[in-house]
Homo-oligomer: A and B are copies of this chain.
Amino acid sequence: MSVSTQTSARLIGQLSTIANRNGLIDLADRLQTLWRWIEDELNSFEDELTRFPSGSSRIEEAAHHLLDMGGKHLRPLCLAVAAKSGSGFDSRGRNLAMAVEFVHSATLLHDDVIDMGETRRGHSTSRVIYGNAASIYAGDWLLVQALMKVQSAGIDGLMDRMLIIINDMVHAESLQLDNRGRINASFEDYFSVVDGKTAALFRWALYAGGRVGGLSDNHCDSLERYGQHLGIAFQAVDDLLDVDGDAQVTGKALFTDLREGKMTYPLLVALERDPDLQAPVLECAEKPPEQPLPAKALQAVLSGLHRTGAIEARRDFAAQHSSDARAAIADLPSDEGKNALCTIAEATTFRRN
């Protein structure tokens, strides 16, 4: 079994372990049921991802370096479940699942160049191994490959929606760039960034899955709403992991967002509740990314996040969106599909990487 055929299995396995450790035996069981239900489809997708033509050029190698690290494949998993809730996850579905993974990977390649990222998923980033130039072109290449896959699926309207989603993603990156280092960024801007950077592609994945499965317009819209809430919950957990995670498990250093001058929800809440935190947050945000964070300021921010209840607030926020996601698909025709998506939404709030 190659690295990339293990990733969804690993994600589900990790989530099960965490659920068991937290005494959530029922959730752990449901994760196993979900896995048995979708295993064949996901393996077929991951096999195809492994076989994806790899030339000898530096950009293809740079792209494959990232793809082969094995992401969580949560977006393809959602797409496959949505499709199987209808008529099934066929070859068109696999193409669309590849597209969604490629778009996600393209943004990571460009982000790592922009943020001068050194490690991702516990490995050196593509830009460290193949250089910034190859990483920029590799991102462009994956974007085009993604659109070719969408085009080849030949499902009406999916290309238009994908272009709008990519446009939203780029605008969110731009807004985040404009706000970089500004600790007085608004909650409104923060939510716009989350909507474009994370929720948009989840929306598309769920909607596209519903379309591949031949579901009705209403059900596809419900799936899209589920994707929106799941994406926000997913990002909320990401924000938490950045300030309260285990670097050994997440594969990236703590406070990476703050080091890059990006305000996350817990930081915004903490600042709102205790304005005295402005000085140490600003001190951290103004450090160039390559320099270590000042220990005293970092400690002040960390204890402030706990003292003000900002971390708890973020946990509640993730739980609320997980719940909203589950509510959105109440009328889905497939019980197995509905259960699978509810399990994913619930487990997402417990993930540790």
Contacts and interface: CB of A to CB of B under 8 A. Distances in A.
B141 A57 contact: no
Q: How many copies altogether?
A: 2
Nearest to A159: B151
A24 interface: no
Nearest to A145: B167
Contact of A110 (B137, B144, B166): B137
A140 B110 contact: yes
Given A140-B166, A141-B167, 20 more contacts: A57-B171, A57-B178, A59-B170, A59-B171, A59-B173, A110-B137, A110-B140, A113-B136, A114-B133, A134-B174, A137-B174, A140-B140, A143-B143, A144-B166, A144-B167, A145-B167, A148-B163, A148-B164, A148-B167, A159-B159
Interface of A: 57-60, 110, 113-114, 132-134, 136-137, 139-141, 143-145, 147-148, 151, 159-160, 163-164, 166-167, 170-171, 173-175, 177-178
Contacts of A113: 136
A201 to B, nearest CB: 14
Contacts of A58: 174, 177-178
B170 A137 contact: yes
B132 A114 contact: yes
A171 to B, nearest CB: 7
26 contacts: A57-B171, A58-B174, A59-B170, A59-B171, A59-B173, A59-B177, A110-B136, A110-B137, A110-B140, A114-B133, A114-B136, A114-B137, A134-B174, A136-B136, A137-B177, A139-B140, A140-B143, A140-B166, A140-B170, A141-B174, A144-B167, A144-B170, A147-B147, A148-B163, A151-B159, A159-B159
Contacts of A171: 57, 59, 141
B167 A160 contact: no
Nearest to A142: B170
Contacts of A147: 147, 163
B144 A175 contact: no
A176 B301 CA distance: 47
